[in-house]
């Protein structure tokens, strides 16, 4: 009788590396999505609230902050919920992007209220 071929057992270090690599990949995706969302929503807010051209530099700040926050939140979500499917992670990133866009537009509204009352 022949014995069935069994695949070798995965080491704990290799499994940990796989989990961290997957979280890093989701973090990069989430960071890019949130950075683009922050930059675009800042541009929309500038036009919607008639802000001065000097306000456009804040788009760079919001974009960099979105990149960092998106990476941290997406990678953290993947580490906290390792059993989530790709679709569930995409929904989580889309929800974060919606919140990022709403927060950026609100900050632009606050800037406009300050700028137009001076």
Per-residue pLDDT, averaged over 6-17, amounts to 84
For residue 1, the model assigns a pLDDT of 58
Could you give the CA distance from residue 50 to residue 20 in angstroms, rounded to a whole number?
A: 44
Could you give the CA distance from residue 75 to residue 28 in angstroms, rounded to a whole number?
A: 8
Could you give the CA distance from residue 60 to residue 110 in angstroms, rounded to a whole number?
A: 18
pLDDT tier for residue 53 given thresholds of 50, 70 and 90: confident
Other beta carbons within 10 Å of 97: 20
Report the percentage of the chain scoring pLDDT > 70.
97
- Give which of 1, 77, 2, 84 is closest to 33, Cα–Cα: 77
pTM for the full predicted model: 0.84
**For residue 41, pLDDT beyond 70:** yes
For residue 112, the model assigns a pLDDT of 85
Q: How many CA atoms lie within 13 A of 88 on its CB side?
A: 8
Could you give the CA distance from residue 113 to residue 118 in angstroms, rounded to a whole number?
A: 9
pLDDT tier for residue 97 given thresholds of 50, 70 and 90: very high
């Amino acid at each position: 009788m022949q014995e069935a071929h069994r695949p070798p057992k995965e080491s704990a270090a290799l499994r940990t590396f796989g989990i961290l690599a997957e979280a890093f990949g989701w973090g990069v995706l989430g960071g890019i999505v949130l950075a683009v969302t922050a930059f675009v929503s800042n541009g929309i807010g500038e036009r919607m609230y008639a802000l001065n051209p000097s306000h456009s530099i804040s788009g760079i700040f919001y974009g960099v902050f979105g990149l960092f926050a998106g990476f941290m939140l997406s990678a953290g979500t993947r580490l906290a919920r390792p059993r989530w499917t790709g679709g569930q992670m995409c929904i989580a990133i889309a929800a974060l992007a919606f919140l990022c866009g709403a927060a950026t537009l609100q900050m632009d509204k606050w800037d406009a209220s300050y700028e137009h009352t001076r």
